[in-house]
A = this chain, B = another copy of it.
């Protein structure tokens, strides 16, 4: 039918907010754009949806991360869709925004033109990328209150004190140790490993844990969260 001909002029893209923890702060990956518009500016990794090859929008986001950032299989979740006539100078556009989490230990070597920026100190960004980053951070913080989301910022093996530090960095506030450990236990997503953490410490070593298989790509949630708001 004539639908395609009648409504051909919507640009369909994906953008990805890739977050990691560096220097105890949430940081977002920005790439220097090589093409117009905004060539030379730092922006989120993004690109057109490829109707020929992408299985869906999240698949497009994964492809963008793989091709443009060298990131292989991070935790990836749809954030929201941004749209309108003005956000992209090329015309009426839709961006199906996603966010992704990756532990610093799994980051690939940075491509030329790729930089990490703390989400609290963003440079000027083209399109509506600033708003997209802000909504992604809000979403991550909100979900971290009551779910296992931040484990995806840890490597495969980690101790509870390490995981607590990750939660605190993401939430931006200290977390009660006893409550934290109760909550983690209640979420039932971790299993201890026999090897222990020995590190440089002149102190008691910490038990290493890993994510149970069942939670590899599913979040665990609990009714009530940690600090229920500053």
Establish whether residues A92 and B51, one from each chain, have CB atoms under 8 Å apart when the complex forms.
yes
**CB-based nearest B residue for A36:** B1
With A56-B84, A223-B229 known as contacts, the answer to whether A9 contacts B1 (CB < 8 A) is: no
Tell me which residues from 113 to 143 in chain A have a Cβ below 8 Å from any Cβ of chain B.
none
Tally of chain A residues near chain B (CB < 8 A) = 35
Q: Name A193-230 residues within 8 Å CB distance of B.
A: 223-225, 228-229
Q: Does A78 make an interface contact (CB < 8 A)?
A: yes
Across the interface, name the chain B residue whose C-beta is closest to A47. Answer: B7
Contact B78 A96, beta carbon cutoff 8 Å: no
Q: In the complex, which residues 86-114 of chain A have their Cβ closer than 8 Å to any Cβ of chain B?
A: 90-92, 94, 96
Determine whether the beta carbon of B83 is less than 8 Å from that of A57. Answer: yes
**Which residues does chain B contribute within 8 Å of A96, judged by CB atoms?**
81, 83, 94
Render A170-193 as a binary contact track against B, CB cut-off 8 A, 1 for contact.
000000000000000000000000
Looking across the interface, which residue of chain B has its beta carbon closest to that of A8? B8
> Nearest-CB distance from A143 to chain B (Å)?
12
Q: What are the residues of chain B within 8 A of A224 when measuring CB–CB?
A: 224, 228
Instruction: Taking A1-B90, A10-B10 as given, write out 15 further A-B residue pairs in contact, using a Cβ cutoff of 8 Å, ordered by the A residue number.
Output: A1-B36, A3-B11, A3-B90, A4-B9, A4-B11, A6-B48, A7-B49, A7-B51, A8-B8, A10-B51, A51-B92, A57-B94, A80-B80, A223-B229, A224-B224
